[in-house]
Amino acid sequence: MPTQVVPIELGDRRYDILIGSGLFDCPTSYEQLANSAGHALVVSNPTVGSIYADRLVSALRQIYLDVRLVVLPDGESHKNAETLGLIFDALLSSKSDRATTLFALGGGVIGDMTGFAAACYMRGVPYVQVPTTLLAQVDSSVGGKTAINHPLGKNMIGAFYQPRRVIVDLDTLDTLPQRELVAGLAEVIKYGPIADAAFLAWIEENIDSMLARDKSALAYAVTRSCRVKASVVVGDEREAGRRVILNYGHTFGHAIEVGLGYGTWLHGEAVGCGMVLAAALSARLGLVDSAYADRITRLIARAGLPVVAPPIATDRFIDLMQLDKKSEAGAMRFVLLDGPGSAALHSVPAEIAAEVIERNRTG
């Protein structure tokens, strides 16, 4: 499979996303990175590390003077300040300096925490994303959003900090549990309604192939998703405008994750349900017709993602969404659909959001 290169053109912070097979443990994937003569710290978790860490460390030892590994607890419930401190412990105990590069080997949790640690350590050291889940490959590894969670809100403590490279090795999807693959499809589906109507139609035609792990279908989906996200990020790196559309479904989704407890639903599962609720809210406000909202719901259901809200009390749901980063001056704001392949940020009264939740919930 030929390697695809998707550039992120951000001036002096420019970097490439490499997409292909056999990439993550090939030393040439990491050539010409800054500070390659220095030290490297690979950050992973027990699940991914047990399969891939030795191979990545071996490849990096052909380039870097010293390569170390730190293994963090697995799961969204550990994406917090305490776990972040384990990365700093590893850096400081090995006397790592500014010639150290961090490598995030894992899914979105590992990528977010490694990036945030890189942004903070000595006020900034380089890092490389090596995403091993579909969700991380198409979304969280690209664009420089880094963060940890707080008990009161998801991703509320973080920084915009771009990686030096993203290595998307599609072979790592071979060991991805089916539930994780399905969760990743939520972020693939997202790009169609918000920015690429033709891609939405392609997803509808190929969803079964992706669920069956057809490598060519997954390769196309990952590459197209990264190209859409790259175009949005390059135009609005720090989410001052259009980049906010990438949060479609996330206001509802983050509230579900916090309300149920981190890790009860996977991030992609919560976002999938959040996209259904956001589509229903779009139709409720007359921004799209009900047939289009139903189309989005059918696709999300075909992917195997939840399409009804969990039994979180409505008042609790609303309170959590009011903590969302898009809220402004106390007003709730949602990314909503306003036509095929088009989305925008809208202020919504709490009572209308509550109505949509109650019409689309279990329990």
Q: What is the DSSP letter of 148?
A: E
Three-class secondary structure of residue 354 per DSSP: helix
Q: Is 325 a catalytic residue?
A: no
Is the distance from CB of 162 to CB of 115 less than 8 angstroms? no
Q: Which of 76, 187, 257, 269 is catalytic?
A: 187
Q: Is 247 a catalytic residue?
A: yes
Q: Is 78 a catalytic residue?
A: no
Q: Is 229 a catalytic residue?
A: yes
Q: Which of 68, 78, 145, 190 is catalytic?
A: 145
Q: Which of 190, 267, 325, 333 is catalytic?
A: 267
Is the distance from CB of 275 to CB of 241 less than 8 angstroms? no
What are the φ/ψ torsions at residue 195 (nearest 5 degrees)? -150, -10
Instruction: Measure the CA dihedral 279/283/287/292, to 10°.
Output: 70
**Residue among 146, 169, 144 at smallest CA distance from 156:** 146
Q: Which of 180, 237, 239, 269 is catalytic?
A: 239
Q: Which of 229, 284, 325, 333 is catalytic?
A: 229
What percent helix, strand, coil does the chain show, rounded to 5?
50, 20, 30
Q: Is 326 a catalytic residue?
A: no
Q: Which of 45, 149, 155, 247 is catalytic?
A: 247
Q: Is 351 a catalytic residue?
A: no
Q: Is 239 a catalytic residue?
A: yes
For every residue of 213-244, DSSP letters joined together read T-HHHHHHHHHHHHHHHHHHHHH-TTSSSGGG
**Residue among 178, 187, 3, 26 at smallest CA distance from 108:** 187
Q: Is 150 a catalytic residue?
A: no
Q: Is 39 a catalytic residue?
A: no
Q: Which of 39, 165, 227, 254 is catalytic?
A: 254
Q: What is the DSSP letter of 266?
A: -
What are the φ/ψ torsions at residue 279 (nearest 5 degrees)? -65, -40
Residues acting as catalytic residues: 123, 145, 187, 229, 239, 243, 247, 250, 254, 267
